[in-house]
Amino acid sequence: MSPVILSAAGAALVLDDSGPGLPRVRHFGAGLGAVDGAELVPVLASLAAAPPLLPAQGDSWYGRPGLTGGRDGEHWPVRWTVEGCDADVTPGAGGTVTVTATDARAGLELVSELAMDAGGLVTMRHTVRNTAATPYRVEGLTCALPVPGRAGELLDFTGRWALEKVPQRRAFGHGVWSRENRRGRTGHDGTGLLVAGTEGFGFRGGEVWAVHTGWSGNHAHYAERLQEGAALLAGGELLEPGEVVLGEGESYRTPWVYFTWSGAGLDEASTRLHDHLRAARPLPERPVTLNNWEATYFDHGLDRLLELAGKAAAAGIERFVLDDGWFRHRRHDRAGLGDWYVDEGVWPDGLHPLAEHVRKLGMQFGLWFEPEMINPDSDLAREHPDWILGRAERMPPPQRHQQVLDLARPEAYAYLLERISTLVTEYALDYIKWDHNRDIAEPVHDGAPGVHAQTLATYRLLDELRARHPGLEIESCSSGGARVDLGILARTDRVWTSDSNDALDRQAIQRWTGLLVPPERLGSHVGAPDDHITGRSLPLAFRGATALFGHMGVEWDLTSASEAELEELATWIALHKRLRPLLHAGRVVRADHADPSALLHGVVLPERAIYAFVQLTSRVDTGPGPLRLPGLDPEARYEVRVAGPVPPRTGLPEWAAGPVRVPGAVLAEVGLPAPALRPTSVLLIEVEKV
């Protein structure tokens, strides 16, 4: 048979189904033009062996197998016999391939699904079914695609609470580089993307391949290169022993795993991911949001909250979210989680006085929950200690005075669904901030490891709430950015990028988290003048310009702000609203700026673009280098002007005095003379096609 070719947006994947065994991906990378599959047959025959869709030793793959598992008392290495390979392909627009295979002796059936969307992003998942009478323990099932030998570097990410997505690079040599997460959630140190690329790749140059597992529980990404020269990227759920045991006729399906390629650096690979998410779940206009946490913490005095809401509305804020502290016994973080009833002592009339006031001011109303957690000091824990995820004889170690509620237990699931749904209905909630503030340690559900069941139950709960309440928006927060993945984003509308609102740290956090997540889904707030985590003092102009390039919000006690500060904040919010159609629909670009003390990034649509030149720290060089604006049409001419407030004590070049017209090729290759900015300053540059 001729190989199957999936192609779209300059990318191509060639699947060789000539056998024996499972089809093999012979090429994943640059588009191949209008080639016919038959023309590739003699070429493929001369290529070195590539791993099949599910690598195994029976296919001469001596690296990590794609499937691991077994039965008690016998072991049969799997050798698949292909039963069918169904392809639905549109040249230049992607397509789907479904492969079914069996191994009668091993008692297993496999279904592998592979797809390329119109943006060139590849998704894959496997389903394995037990066809024998004895149980089969699935220990691992991963999705993998090959990368060529010229991919000689690896990039991934680490991090911690309030400092997520810290990049790290290394050579891609022989062996396995594996990033395994056993925290029960995606994790502050979750890599997000594992990237392989040609030496020295950057945002705008080099060839890169990347993998992401769309799963919010334990997971693994790895890169492997064998001495024979074959190499791959892989990802999947990380299963504990005994976590998935299949009876006869039962199946296990992997999460979707995402693969992206670019011939022009990280930005193009990122664009494919952004386009996929935007097409899968389009969003309405993103309202500017105020969250009261850093303004009032657990102080829920009604008069203070009403005053805060008034200041927010006057500044142009469109949504007010009441954070932690509104439910029973919640005067501090050591009690009350699980008791999802409005605290009658704090709110004798319920939340209605606040919700009604917020809506009279023209704002939406939202509420904070942490449904998956429970305080031992709560009515729920005292009434149902058996609902805690763990063994009753030896509870898991506590974190933050919390344990985890076993959502896979039907009674606990039903309780949460009823409580949250009732509150959404009573207060006509527009928005839920859904938090998850601890790692899951020693999870036990029905005597087996429990993260797999817990993650699926969380997904079901989110799906059911959205089905019951169309239009309800949900934010995924997990101690900030500890649950950022495409599994949770299939069910939520944005992520809280980090608990740190320190705009200097946020520049890097948002830059790297934004490789996976488009700006309209990145919660990005203007914090207080003195950050409550780092203690750093930063000017409002820097805080406002940093929050501008995300789903903008405010987390600051506006009742303590001066009139001048409130006026300046209103200016930044108005600018965000003006630029919002561009910021939340355009293509994100990041320059490989030569000066390590500064960043240059932007968002581009065909007719217009906005860029931020960010001076992070003091320059080593006396003068800043030119600003080469990426992503513009080289054949077009653009009008260039400064947008927004100009930072104080800025040395502006001549072009900034008024609009100038410059060809796109000049802006990209020669660039604009850079302004002289003080540290922690931002100059915004707006360009429009003429």
Q: Which of 293, 290, 277, 323 is nearest to 494 (CA)?
A: 277
What is the overall mean pLDDT for the chain?
A: 96
The first and second tokens of residue 257, run together, are 């795993």
- Residue at 30 is within a domain: yes
Q: What is the CATH number of the domain that holds 513?
A: 3.20.20.70
Tell me how many domains the chain contains. 3
Task: Dump pLDDT digits (tens) for 224-255.
Answer: 999 988 999 999 999 999 999 999 999 999 99
Write down the H helix ranges in 344-409. Answer: 352-360, 379-383
Percent of the chain with pLDDT over 90: 91
Query: Is the pLDDT confidence value at 48 over 70?
Result: no
| 349 among known catalytic residues | no
**Residue 77 and residue 111 share a domain:** yes
Residue-level pLDDT at 305: 98
Residue-level pLDDT at 29: 97
Looking up tokens 């006026």 gives 567
Residue-level pLDDT at 45: 63
**Residue 604 and residue 563 share a domain:** no
pLDDT confidence band for 408 (50 / 70 / 90) = very high
Average pLDDT on 516-534 reads 97
Query: Is the pLDDT confidence value at 51 over 90?
Result: no
- Residue at 418 is within a domain: no
**Residue 157 and residue 18 share a domain:** yes
- Residue at 619 is within a domain: yes
Average pLDDT on 211-230 reads 96
Strand pairing partners for 432? 367, 474
674: containing domain = 591-689
Angle, vertex CA 515, rays to CA 672 and CA 506, nearest 5: 75
Q: How far apart are CA 130 and CA 248, in angstroms?
A: 5
Looking at residue 397, the DSSP 8-state letter turns out to be: P
Q: Which of 660, 324, 347 is nearest to 496 (CA)?
A: 324
Average pLDDT on 10-22 reads 92
**Residue 607 and residue 548 share a domain:** no
- Residue at 653 is within a domain: yes
| 621 among known catalytic residues | no
**Pair 294, 558: CB distance under 8 Å:** no
Give the CA-trace dihedral at 195, 200, 204, 208, to 10 degrees.
Answer: -30
Query: Is the pLDDT confidence value at 17 over 70?
Result: yes
Q: How far apart are CA 346 and CA 298, in angstroms?
A: 11
Query: What amino acid is encoded at 257 in this protein?
Result: V
Helix (H) or strand (E) holding 419: helix 410-426
Q: How far apart are CA 23 and CA 18, in angstroms?
A: 7
**Pair 323, 368: CB distance under 8 Å:** yes
Residue-level pLDDT at 650: 79
Q: How far apart are CA 570 and CA 316, in angstroms?
A: 6
Query: 420-423, long-range: CB within 8 Å, 24+ apart, which pairs?
Result: 420/340, 420/369, 420/371, 420/465, 421/465, 421/468, 421/469, 423/340, 423/342, 423/367
Residue-level pLDDT at 667: 97
- Residue at 379 is within a domain: no
Sheet holding 11-16, edge to edge: 4-8, 11-16, 24-30
pTM value surpassing 0.85? yes
Q: How far apart are CA 234 and CA 669, in angstroms?
A: 36
Q: Which of 547, 543, 632, 534 is nearest to 583 (CA)?
A: 547
- Residue at 135 is within a domain: yes
Q: Which of 280, 303, 334 is the last residue of a domain?
A: 280
DSSP string, 61-77: --S--SEEEEBTTB---
pLDDT confidence band for 512 (50 / 70 / 90) = very high
Task: Dump pLDDT digits (tens) for 585-625.
Answer: 999 999 999 999 999 999 999 999 999 999 999 988 877 78
- Residue at 406 is within a domain: no
Helix (H) or strand (E) holding 622: none
**Residue 331 and residue 206 share a domain:** no
The residues, any chain, with a CB within 8 Å of residue 400's CB and separated by 6 or more, are: 333, 437, 438
Write down the H helix ranges in 230-383. Answer: 266-280, 293-296, 302-314, 352-360, 379-383
Which of 275, 323, 485, 499 does the annotation list as catalytic?
Answer: 499
Q: What is the CATH number of the domain that holds 624?
A: 2.60.40.1180
The first and second tokens of residue 437, run together, are 């503030």
Query: Is the pLDDT confidence value at 558 over 70?
Result: yes
pLDDT confidence band for 1 (50 / 70 / 90) = low
Query: Is the pLDDT confidence value at 268 over 70?
Result: yes
Preceding amide of 630 cis, omega within 30: no
**Residue 89 and residue 13 share a domain:** yes
Average pLDDT on 173-196 reads 97
Provide the terminal-to-terminal Cα distance of the chain, rounded to the nearest Å: 52
Query: Is the pLDDT confidence value at 49 over 70?
Result: no
Residue-level pLDDT at 354: 98
- Residue at 410 is within a domain: no
CB-based burial label for 562 (10 Å; 0-12, 13-18, 19+): exposed
Looking at residue 391, the DSSP 8-state letter turns out to be: B
Task: Dump pLDDT digits (tens) for 415-454.
Answer: 999 999 999 999 999 999 999 999 999 999 999 999 999 9
Query: Is the pLDDT confidence value at 47 over 80?
Result: no
Angle, vertex CA 643, rays to CA 642 and CA 646, nearest 5: 75
Which of 435, 485, 502, 505 does the annotation list as catalytic?
Answer: 435
Q: Which of 537, 538, 611 is nearest to 579 (CA)?
A: 611
Helix (H) or strand (E) holding 257: strand 257-262
Q: Which of 368, 364, 369 is nearest to 289 (CA)?
A: 364
The residues, any chain, with a CB within 8 Å of residue 43's CB and separated by 6 or more, are: none
The residues, any chain, with a CB within 8 Å of residue 87's CB and separated by 6 or more, are: 4, 95, 96, 97, 98
**Residue 204 and residue 133 share a domain:** yes
**Residue 193 and residue 325 share a domain:** no
Task: Dump pLDDT digits (tens) for 25-45.
Answer: 999 999 998 888 778 877 776
Percent of the chain with pLDDT over 70: 99
Task: Dump pLDDT digits (tens) for 449-500.
Answer: 999 999 999 999 999 999 999 999 999 999 999 999 999 999 999 999 999 9
Helix (H) or strand (E) holding 219: strand 219-225
Tally of CB atoms within 10 A around 175? 12
**Residue 433 and residue 510 share a domain:** yes
Residue-level pLDDT at 34: 85
**Residue 597 and residue 573 share a domain:** no
Residue-level pLDDT at 46: 60
Q: Which of 197, 106, 105, 109 is nearest to 149 (CA)?
A: 197
Residue-level pLDDT at 293: 98
**Residue 310 and residue 349 share a domain:** yes
